[in-house]
Structure 1
Amino acid sequence: MKVLLFGATGMVGQSVLRECLLDPEVEQVLAVGRSETSKSDPKLTQIVHSNLLDLSAIETQLSGYDACLFCLGVSSAGMTEEKYRAITYDLTLSVANTLVRLNPGMTFIYVTGSGTDSTEQGRSMWARVKGKTENDLLKLPFKGAYMFRPAAIIPKHGIRSRTGWYMLLYAFIRPFAPLLERAFKSSVTTSDQLGRAMLKVAKHGYSKPHIESREINQI
């Protein structure tokens, strides 16, 4: 399987990249982003591209892939709805529309979040925007599209978030991580479980498009 990965430098993206490089069924990974990861591997190729809203300059390098694992995302804290939508909705749909044209047989997996509002009508701004993003991705003619909705993610294997307050939170809960994993199986997953689940769904599909934390752990 050949995999396209967006957002490889974030916490989720780092986790997914690690699992891709470990998986013997993944023969090639192309990571596309505004900066390179520190990883080096024979399976890994990286493209640094500053304007992800316009992939025309690199389109010739984006064909022939079986799956896209889309891990780009930002916290909505302190952001206006317009700015959050530009990053969360506009960028994601721009990339997805390009990829479905180049790879109609592709499976597209989008990392969203627990509490996403599929009605697009709720009070929570981030949940409405994420809901619209999910809904419009599911309308595209990919071979398959799946929305992963993790709640709490505990990073493993030295993977770290680049968001300051996330780093502080994870440092605080790290001693309690094993207990949290056992006690809250419906809402807590680990970074490696998330990465492995995304790859398994990319290979074999799933019975429904929205996948919550409990299902991520089961997968």
Structure 2
Amino acid sequence: MQVILFGATGMVGQGVLRECLIDPDVTRVVSVVRSASGQSDAKLEEIVHRDFLDYASIEEQLTGLDACFFTLGVSSAGMSEEAYRKVTYDVTTAAARTLVKMNPAMTFLYVSGAGTDSSEHGGTMWARVKGKTENDLLAMPFMAAYMFRPGMIQPLHGIVSKTKAYRILYTITAPLLPILRALIPKYITTTEEVGRAMIQVAKVGYPKRVIESVEIGGIVARV
């Protein structure tokens, strides 16, 4: 399976990339980044591309792909709806439109978030924008598309968040996470589980197009 990854330097993206590189069924990983990461692996092919709203100049490099793992995203804290929509909706759908044109048989897997508003009309800004993004991705003519909605994600294997507030949160809650996972497992997953679940769904599919946090661990457990 040949895959493309967006957001490889983020916390979730780092987890997905790690699992792709160690999965024997993933033979090629194309990672689209704004600046070179310095990471090297026989499977990994980095494409440095600055404009995440226009992929015309690299279209020919985005072919022969079976799945896209789209993990790129930002926190909505302090952002206007217009600014958040540009980073969340515009960037995601620009990539998706190019990929479906170049790879119509592709499976597109998008990391959204627990609480996303599929109605697009709720009172929470980020949830509306995520809902609009999910809905428009599901309407595109991919072979299949899946929306992953994790809740709290525990970073493993030395992975850290690029967002300072999240780093502080994870540092404070780290000693409590094993207890919280035992008490409320449906709300907490790990970077490893998200990566493995996305790869498994890309391989064999899933009955539901929107995959909630509680289902992520179940997908991994059944592998």
Please state which band the TM-score falls in when normalised by the shorter chain.
over 0.9
Q: SS at the partner of 1:186?
A: helix
- Structural mapping, 1:146-165, within 5 Å: 146-165=146-165
SS in 2 for 1:145: strand
Residues 126-170 of structure 1 show CA distances to partners (whole Å, capped at 9, x for unaligned) of 000000000000000101000000010000000000000100000
Distance 2:75 2:168 in 1: 15
Shift of 1:35: 2.1
| 1:93 match | 93
Unpaired segments of 5 or more residues in structure 2?
none
Once the two structures are TM-superposed, the CA of residue 179 in structure 1 deviates from its matched residue by 1.4
**Which position in structure 2 is the counterpart of 1:104?**
104
State the identity as a percent: 59
Structure 2 Cα separation of the partners of residues 19 and 186 of structure 1: 21
- SS of equivalent to 2:69: strand
Say how many residue pairs are matched: 219
Match of 1:73 in 2: 73
SS in structure 1 at match of 2:185? coil
Offset of residue 174 of structure 1: 1.1
Shift of 1:20: 0.1
Contact persistence 1:8–1:16 (CA under 8 A): yes
| Structure 2 CA distance for aligned equivalents of residues 38 and 179 of structure 1 | 36
Name the aligned partner's letter for residue 128 of structure 1: R
CA deviation after TM superposition for structure 1 residue 110, in Å: 0.3
Counterparts of 1:16 and 1:180 in 2: how far apart (Å)? Answer: 23
Unpaired runs of at least 5, structure 1: none
1:192-203 correspondence to structure 2 within 5 Å: 192-203=192-203
Report the AA paired with residue 145 of structure 2.
A
CA shift, 1:39, in A, is 2.4
Distance in 2 (CA, whole Å) between partners of 1:115 and 1:36 is: 33
In 2, Cα distance between the equivalents of 1:40 and 1:184?
A: 37
Aligned residue number for residue 207 of structure 2 = 207
Q: Deviations over 1:71-125 (max 9, x none)?
A: 0001100000000001111111111000000000000000000000000010000
In structure 1, the residue matched to 2:166 is 166
Structure 1: 4+ residue segments shifted above 6 A: none
- The answer (yes or no) to whether the contact 1:6–1:33 under 8 Å persists in 2 is yes
Q: Find the aligned partners of 2:107 and 2:135 in 1 and give their Cα distance.
A: 16
In the aligned structure 2, how far is the partner of 1:32 from the partner of 1:183?
A: 38
Provide the C-alpha distance between the structure 2 equivalents of 1:101 and 1:47, rounded to a whole number of angstroms.
19
What is the deviation of 1:36? 2.6
